Amino acid sequence: MSLSKRLVLAMTLLILVIFIGTLSISVMTTRNYLNQQLQITSQDTATSIGKSVADSIAKQDKEKLRIILSAIFDHGYYSRIEIRNMDGEVLALRKQKKLRHKNVPDWFVNFIPLTVPTGRQEIISSDFVRLGEVLVSAHPGLAYKELWDTFIRNVYWVLIAGLLALATVLWLIRYLLKPLKNLEHQANQIAVGNFVVQQDLPDTPELHRVVSTFNRMSVKVSKMLQAQTELTERMRIRAYQDALTGVNNRRYFAEQLDHLLKTPEEFISGALMLVEISDFKSYNQRHGYVKADELLKKTAEILAANAKLISNTCLARVSGASFSLLAPNVNIDEIKTLADRLKSDFEGLHSRMKIDDIATVHIGIAVYDGNQDSAELLSMADMALRAAQVRGPNSWHIYDEPNLTQNNIRGSSAWKRVIKTMIREKNLTLHFQPVKSLADMHIMHYEVLARMPDVDGNLVNAGTFLPMVQRHGMASGVDLVIIEKLLEVMGDENQVKYAVNISRASLEDGRFIDWLIDTISQFPGRASSLIFEVQEYSVTAHLATIRENINRIRAIGCEFSLDHFGSGSPDFGYLLNTRIDYIKIDGSYIHNINHNEDNRFFIKSITEIAHGLDIQVIGEYVETPQEWKTLQQLNLDGALGHFVGKPYADIAPEDTSAETEAVLPEVSGHAK
């Protein structure tokens, strides 16, 4: 029971005790007073009658005695008047059988009885001879009426006063405990990573000190998390960022390329650009390192600005005057447009800096079709770079361009028709991949994967068709089909959760969010089983709009997750003020993590920060038992990948923890 309820109950009981006590005292006081009045009335009447009937008794005039007795009885309010002689013989008697007032309830008379006294008076003649006695009992009816009226008046008064007192107490309790409510809200906000500070401090000294302490704690915890976040960012930058240009370094690029080539679900096609400043050594010798460094920085700025125009690119400085730009899931037209834009920008830079011809920029482009390994792809890009250098200053060249152009034109047009047909007919299949707890291997939720027929009717994964979906602006339509399909699969009482990706375009579209909320509201039992995911770079690039829509989705009971965490901006301080429930670490950090100390440090730091914000951390693309074991040691919450569980078709599969467990003891010593 809450403190406010306990205080209200205590005050109610206290007021009730006061009510009963006050009422009892008032009624009992009135009762005693009325008993005394009845005694006095009975005795005074007996004395008066004794004097009036003495002569009648002495003369034995019974008629006169009867008349006197009747006159007194009829004009008074008595229950019994009796006259006796010295022998005990009743000379006259008048009495009433009913002793209660008609307006007084029987229960009241029985609960608070009045004493009916009898007044006695001896009858003495004029010569002082005892003739008999008079017995008078007053009628208690009027006394009961007076006592009942007093009781009712006191009940009304005490009840009104009690209600007023209770209302006042409730208001006072609410007023005095308001700081505690605010304190509870502040504590809950701190628990979820929102470090609020109360501006209005309570007047009560004790509560003032408590709230001030909470405010200091909130500020200190916020600063601690901010400092830890900044330290992790600095360490990540030192490990993966080029100090001079600010872009990624060769090591980061190699890890990203290796991960993408081993992840066909994400990297079906794309392009690798090698950008090189020719004769940079000669330029450095002629103009000095300050001018040379400035040229490198300007070149990196041009590449970074153009890379932002394409989703999920990876830009790195791979050697002294060489840069690489990896652009997943782009077509030949986008590659050419990018290359032309870079050529124009480099020519403008050449003119502004008045650079001589020895420091021109050349671009070699290799197109990835899913069949090359990293060495072959780099070799193709290098050969294209040499061809570009032959063409002249600031030139670009695509390796094997004629065949690529013909295939791309035919494929893009066919894909557009297929995707439109799929959306119209909802011809899409869902697969489910388990995400398991690293602590006990229970299934935390299922990752929902979409499959659709390609131009030849073969079922392909999302990595194949989503680039075409985004290219033709149909992402929201595909998201709508996937969510409808998932809601059909789910039941109203789900024991498991489902994580489904939605595109940045959908998350930014207010109409789509309205549709999503309205649709899920029709199935209230399913909202808590839904986790919506968006890739991290989408959030960091459009944080203001997306944060508002994330809050709208979470408000109806759904959870939210960031996918491919770490692949976006190196500044992840946004976690401190963005309400999410899960982050899924990008597979490039998980690959061979047991051999990569820098990645282990990064993931461990992120996990500590996330847990401080009540966010669960999951590792993606776990492919080996060694990676599983390492993630356990780093205190992550869960993992997914082919080692954890392969995707299943149609419906969520049964728990396959035993399959994973059978492999683990030999490597990690893990026991369920």
Share of the chain above pLDDT 70, in %: 87
Would you give the DSSP letter of residue 99? -
DSSP, residue by residue, 509-547: -HHHHHHHHHHHHT-HHHHTTEEEEEEHHHHHHSHHHHH
| pLDDT for position 659 | 44
Lowest mean pLDDT among 233-242, 477-486, 590-599: 233-242
Taking 70 as the threshold, does the pLDDT of residue 239 lie above it? yes
Taking 80 as the threshold, does the pLDDT of residue 347 lie above it? yes
Indicate the pLDDT class of residue 3, thresholds 50, 70 and 90: low
Taking 60 as the threshold, does the pLDDT of residue 652 lie above it? no
Please tell me the class of the 432-668 domain.
Answer: alpha beta
CB 206 within 8 A of CB 213: no
Instruction: Give the separation between CA 353 and CA 75, rounded to whole angstroms.
Output: 130
Taking 80 as the threshold, does the pLDDT of residue 380 lie above it? yes
- Domain coordinates in residue numbering, the chain: 22-158, 247-399, 432-668
Lowest mean pLDDT among 54-68, 81-95, 266-280, 574-588: 54-68
Calculate the average pLDDT of the chain.
80
Token pair 């390796």 is at which residue?
Answer: 399
What is the mean predicted confidence (pLDDT) over 136-151?
81
Taking 80 as the threshold, does the pLDDT of residue 370 lie above it? no
Taking 90 as the threshold, does the pLDDT of residue 224 lie above it? no
| pLDDT for position 411 | 58
Taking 90 as the threshold, does the pLDDT of residue 258 lie above it? no
Cα 549 versus chain centre, distance: 14
| pLDDT for position 565 | 87
More confident residue, 187 or 296: 296
Q: Give whichever of 131-135, 266-270, 431-435, 524-528 has the largest mean pLDDT.
A: 431-435
Taking 90 as the threshold, does the pLDDT of residue 273 lie above it? yes
Cβ neighbours for 199, distance < 8 A, ≥ 6 positions apart: none
Indicate the pLDDT class of residue 669, thresholds 50, 70 and 90: very low
Indicate the pLDDT class of residue 671, thresholds 50, 70 and 90: very low
CATH architecture of 247-399: 2-Layer Sandwich (3.30)
Q: Topology of 22-158 in CATH?
A: Beta-Lactamase (3.30.450)
Per-residue pLDDT tens over the stretch 85-99: 877 777 778 887 665
What is the mean predicted confidence (pLDDT) over 574-597?
85
| pLDDT for position 150 | 83
| pLDDT for position 662 | 41
Share of the chain above pLDDT 90, in %: 18
Q: In what order do the strands lie in the sheet with 396-398?
A: 248-249, 314-319, 322-328, 270-277, 361-368, 396-398
Taking 60 as the threshold, does the pLDDT of residue 570 lie above it? no
Lowest mean pLDDT among 118-132, 171-185, 334-348: 171-185
CB 177 within 8 A of CB 42: no
Taking 70 as the threshold, does the pLDDT of residue 325 lie above it? yes
More confident residue, 186 or 277: 277
Q: Give whichever of 121-125, 216-220, 331-335, 668-672 has the largest mean pLDDT.
A: 331-335
Per-residue pLDDT tens over the stretch 401-457: 655 555 454 456 777 888 888 889 888 889 999 999 999 999 999 999 998 887 777
Q: Give whichever of 41-50, 86-95, 623-632 has the largest mean pLDDT.
A: 623-632
Distances (CA, A) of 113 to 100, 105, 144: 11, 12, 9
Instruction: Give the separation between CA 174 and CA 603, rounded to whole angstroms.
Output: 46
| pLDDT for position 305 | 92
